[in-house]
Amino acid sequence: MAIGMHCLFRLSGRPSSFSEKSPPYMNVMHLIQLIKRLKTLVGAGFLSVLAWALGLNIVFAAAFYFAERSVQEITMLDALWWSMVTMTTVGYGDFSAQTWIGRFIISYPCMLLGIGIIGYLVGFIANALIEFASKKRRGLMEITFDNHIIVCNFPGEEKIIKVIHEITGSERYRECRFVLITDKLEELPEKLQKMKIHFVRGIPTDTDVLLRANLLSCRGVIVLAERPEDRTSDERTYTICSLVELLEREHKRPIKTIAEVVSKDNIKNLQRTNVDGFISSEGIVGCLLVQEFLHPGINGVISQMVTNLEGSQLYIHETTLDDYPIQDVQIGAIRHEDDIQVIGVIQNGRQILNPPRDTRVGKGDKLIILAQNEHDIQTIEQQLMQTTASS
């Protein structure tokens, strides 16, 4: 099971659609959206009190300015500063009332009202932050960021942790954020909170729940078997993958989806959803036992190849070396300064390990490589094409 799970985590990146050079009207739209989100977070009451506080700040500043300008040098900006300092009870003392009107008619009400309004605002913000944190833990918040990976279903805390450790073990996803969708949790466990995993509570087979997790802006979806020991879990997996496929078509937005299948008998059904990849642990343990019996130590070799946490890994690379002999590609890899091996090729959807020497790489074929860095193969391709062009 553990080795099978490692095979889930090969997702492709997606560049951000955000542009730093946004037109002015877009900046206004962003400001409006920010105000709407702030209103949702703290409520309309908070914004009303904030408006009152700013309004009183201006009123007291104007009154202070007209009352004190004849006895001290002061500008309207100085008066605004004095009003805010007085309302917040900071009291720097750089400006103070000199007249009895400024002291008793203006300063007193400014201090009394300021203490009440500022105290109310602070309490409002504190309550809003507490409520926000509570909703976040209970999975009631809508995901607004993008370029995240969505994990559907909760087969267990340790499995989720292992999945995320494996993904973040890849340099490409080291800083990636994760969103867990499940209806099995009332609140996100403390270990997952510490890993800064976001939580959306709901059934992953619900379209609204998937959209609340910002499915259309994610980097990919991993669908885990809800109960790895129960074949009926594949029914939920099939439904989730079907919904993702429907949303892909409806919004014309490609979403890479990888799914875990409990029973091999259900793979054909899952393929109908056009899922990008799937794994099934059924039968793997038996095969590994036999291989370990025949060749003791082989399990350690396989484990290292499929984990991102140590040693070299297996990669599938979309090559540009059309019509090149596979032997030339393998020789180029051996001569390369970095440690890399071309161990196979995928042609017409068929994986060929240790291909015959006369095999030629066709258009659309993919190379199966063993390396510490996937990008090394690109250097080899460039060298081979340069050699061919010069000859």
CA–CA distances in Å: residue 303 to residues 3, 10, 224? 6, 16, 20
What per-residue confidence (pLDDT) applies to 18? Answer: 35
Other CB atoms closer than 10 Å to residue 267's CB: what's the count?
16
What per-residue confidence (pLDDT) applies to 119? Answer: 82
Q: Is the dihedral angle over the CA atoms 360, 361, 363, 364 positive or is it negative?
A: positive
Other CB atoms closer than 10 Å to residue 290's CB: what's the count?
11
What per-residue confidence (pLDDT) applies to 223? Answer: 95
H, E, C per residue of the chain: CHHHHHCCCCCCCCCCCCCCCCCHHHHHHHHHHHHHHHHHHHCHHHHHHHHHHHHHHHHHHHHHHHHHCCCCCCCHHHHHHHHHHHHCCCCCCCCCCCCHHHHHHHHHHHHHHHHHHHHHHHHHHHHHHHHHHHHHHCCCCCCCCCCCEEEECCCCHHHHHHHHHHHHCCHHHCCCCEEEEECCCCCCCHHHHHCCCEEEECCCCCHHHHHHCCHHHCCEEEECCCCCCCCCHHHHHHHHHHHHHHHHHHHCCCCCEEEEECCHHHHHHHHCCCCCEEEECCCHHHHHHHHHHHCCCHHHHHHHHHCCCCCCEEEEEECCCCCEEHHHHHHHHHHCCCCEEEEEEEECCEEEECCCCCCEECCCCEEEEEECCCCHHHHHHHHHHHHHHHC
What per-residue confidence (pLDDT) applies to 162? Answer: 92
Q: In CATH, what class is 2-11+142-286?
A: alpha beta
| Multiple choice CATH, 43-137, 1.10.8.60, 1.10.287.70, 1.20.1530.20, 1.10.510.10 | 1.10.287.70
Domain ranges of the chain: 2-11+142-286, 43-137, 312-390
User: 371-386: buried (b, 16+ CB within 10 Å) or exposed (e) per residue?
Assistant: beebebbeebbeebee
Beta bridge partners of 353: 344
By C-alpha distance, which of 187, 92, 198 is closest to 142?
A: 198
Architecture of the structural domain at 312-390: 2-Layer Sandwich (3.30)
Per-run averaged pLDDT (10 residues), the chain, 391 residues: 43 37 55 61 68 89 92 92 88 86 89 85 78 78 92 93 90 90 91 90 94 94 90 92 94 93 86 87 77 84 79 83 85 81 88 88 88 75 72 59
C-alpha–C-alpha distance, residues 327 and 352, integer Å? 14
What per-residue confidence (pLDDT) applies to 241? Answer: 94
What per-residue confidence (pLDDT) applies to 125? Answer: 77
